[in-house]
Amino acid sequence: MLADAKAQGASGRNFLSQPGWYALLGDLVSQVGEPGFPDALAQTLGHLTQFAYTVTFAYNGPDVPLCLHHTFPPKQYAIHVSEYEVGPYLLDPLYKAATNGVRSGVFRLGDVAPDQFYKSEYYRSYYVQTGPVDEIAMFIPGNGSWTIVTSLMRPHSHPAFSIRELRALRCVEPLLGRIAQAHWRTDQRLKAVKPEQDDKDMLRRTVEDALRRLGMPLLTPRETEVVGLVLRGHSSESIANILGISAGTVRIHRKNVYAKMRISSQRELFSIFMQSPVYGGG
């Protein structure tokens, strides 16, 4: 995909004046409702920017996300899809943005990530092993509460997406997003069923399941909220703003949590989180 995009002059420069761009749009429209649509969308996006892999997930609240399309080889598929779907998707900034009401638009991962996401144990222990150095996502509204997210990924061997490339994607998003919306609304897997619980309930249950399995005392509701936000990559100051309490109170909650769990680091906290049966820990 990277080589193909480079051959097409994909950097977002003057794409509106390129006949090939309109041919790709025509092909994309013709594939709406057809199995070949995801590949046609990837080819169209590749005309605008270079990327190594693309993956499309459908999110419906805290339900396990559905992988609708990907271009991963087997090793990357195991990490990006298989482990993700039964792993800590609740901590993913793109998932959280979708459940928080982001329904359309183009965003870099850093645009929607918490303030300390890149220092979080989730990022260090799980996210980094997936390989991309940069990621851009296009959000597409689906039926009911479904949100479709198509991600474009670059590996460590390539530079981050440029401002010019991001602007090009945002320029065409109103058009491509509507075309993609028309396609995914024909997908019978994405029925407009509202989830019975929200992501906060799912995260609380996940933490409680892990603690019960390890014979540890349960946390208070507030402590559980703090744990969830810590795992997602929020600083004490960010958590304080979200919960409407002082940063000092947040630090006290974190200290109490660590004491109850008999741990001393976020790495240990993340390891406990991963022990939940929800994530294949038992």
Query: What is the domain-level CATH number for residue 240?
Result: 1.10.10.10
Identify the pLDDT of residue 262: 87
Condensed to tens digits (0 to 9), the pLDDT of residues 179-200 reads 999 999 999 989 766 665 667 7
Q: Domain count of the chain?
A: 2
Identify the pLDDT of residue 4: 43
83 token code pair: 């482990």
pLDDT above 60: residue 106: yes
pLDDT above 80: residue 16: no
User: Are 38 and 158 found together in one domain?
Assistant: yes
**Over the chain, what is the mean pLDDT?**
85
Give the whole-angstrom CA distance, residue 211 versus residue 170.
43
Identify the pLDDT of residue 10: 42
User: Are 219 and 248 found together in one domain?
Assistant: yes
Does the residue 158 lie in any domain?
yes
Neighbours of 189 (CB within 10 A): 9
User: Are 99 and 222 found together in one domain?
Assistant: no
Give the whole-angstrom CA distance, residue 208 versus residue 216.
9
Condensed to tens digits (0 to 9), the pLDDT of residues 33-48 reads 999 999 999 999 999 9
Amino acid symbol at 188: Q
Identify the pLDDT of residue 275: 67
User: Are 106 and 11 found together in one domain?
Assistant: yes
Question: What band does 202 get if pLDDT is binned at 50, 70 and 90?
Answer: confident
Average pLDDT over residues 106-122: 91
Three-state DSSP at 125 gives helix
User: Are 223 and 118 found together in one domain?
Assistant: no
Question: What band does 9 get if pLDDT is binned at 50, 70 and 90?
Answer: very low
Does the residue 211 lie in any domain?
yes
Distance of CA 178 to the CA centre of its chain: 21
Identify the pLDDT of residue 279: 47
- Domain span including residue 163: 2-184
Identify the pLDDT of residue 156: 74
User: Are 94 and 119 found together in one domain?
Assistant: yes
pLDDT above 50: residue 6: no
Three-state DSSP at 152 gives strand
What phi and psi values does residue 273 have, to the nearest 5 degrees?
A: -55, -40
Asked if 135 and 108 touch (Cβ cutoff 8 Å), the reply is yes
Name the residue among 230, 228, 231, 220 with its Cα closest to residue 256.
220
142 token code pair: 């689906």
Last residue of a domain, one of 161, 184, 207: 184
User: Cα–Cα distances in Å, from 46 out to 63, 170, 265?
Assistant: 30, 14, 41
Q: What percent of the chain has pLDDT over 90?
A: 49
User: Are 43 and 79 found together in one domain?
Assistant: yes
Condensed to tens digits (0 to 9), the pLDDT of residues 52-101 reads 999 999 999 888 899 999 999 888 888 778 878 766 788 899 999 998 89
Question: What band does 276 get if pLDDT is binned at 50, 70 and 90?
Answer: low
Domain with 100 in it: what CATH number?
Answer: 3.30.450.80
User: Are 206 and 68 found together in one domain?
Assistant: no
Identify the pLDDT of residue 207: 80
Question: What band does 246 get if pLDDT is binned at 50, 70 and 90?
Answer: very high
Dihedral of alpha carbons 65, 69, 70, 76, sign = positive
Least confident of 16-25, 141-150, 227-236: 16-25
What is the reported pTM? Answer: 0.82
User: Are 24 and 87 found together in one domain?
Assistant: yes
